[in-house]
A = this chain, B = another copy of it.
Amino acid sequence: MGVFDQKDFLGCCGSTKFAKEMVLSGPFSNYQQAVEAARDIWFNKVDVNGWLEAFAAHPKIGESPSHSQKTKSSSSAQWSEGEQSTALASATDSSFQELIEWNARYLQKFGIVFLIFASGRTTLEILAEMKKRYVNRPIVELEIAAQEQMKITELRLSKLFSLQKDASSEAKTDN
């Protein structure tokens, strides 16, 4: 059984509306049920302002979360570090530099950070994807960013559920 509070869900997706609606929809009997609720809330109930709020809670790819982001949504920012670990481990100095530059160009054009489900992807793969997406119209890119955010949210929800399972096994061992 997944009993989580608003702060837990805010760590999965930085939209306040999303986190509130998840609490109202729960508790969830399993991960799959939570994901179905999350998809419905994210795509049908959270408006564009909520999407922008969630995007803004992410550190830019390759950058450490800023102090304000850490304060606002600490677990979300910390999880980003783990999810970006393949990219960071595979980054050469020059590809890393190029990533920073394209990030800035992307932000300049779209007004939102470049969002990608980065788990397991190398820097070069992320860079290629960013260049491909850069030619999109802003509205198209907004929808892609929302889809990537959903993938990130799903991964984080699965972490929430497995953390809770671990905690409950430990509780049983303690008895």
Contacts and interface: CB of A to CB of B under 8 A. Distances in A.
Contact of A142 (B48, B109, B137): B48
A44 to B, nearest CB: 6
Interface string A115-154: 0000000000000000000000111001100100000000
A46 interface: yes
Most chain B CB within 10 A, of A109, A137, A139, A142, is at: A139
Interface residues of A, number: 20
Contacts of A48: 48, 52, 110-112, 138-139, 142
Contact of A137 (B43, B112, B139): B43
Nearest to A108: B47
Interface string A78-103: 00000000000000000000000000
Nearest to A110: B47
A137 B44 contact: yes
A111 B109 CA distance: 23
B139 A49 contact: no
A50 interface: yes
B52 A138 contact: no
Given A43-B137, A48-B48, A48-B110, 19 more contacts: A43-B139, A44-B137, A44-B138, A45-B138, A47-B109, A47-B110, A47-B111, A47-B112, A48-B52, A48-B111, A48-B112, A48-B138, A49-B52, A49-B111, A50-B111, A51-B138, A139-B142, A139-B146, A142-B142
Interface of A: 43-52, 109-112, 137-139, 142-143, 146
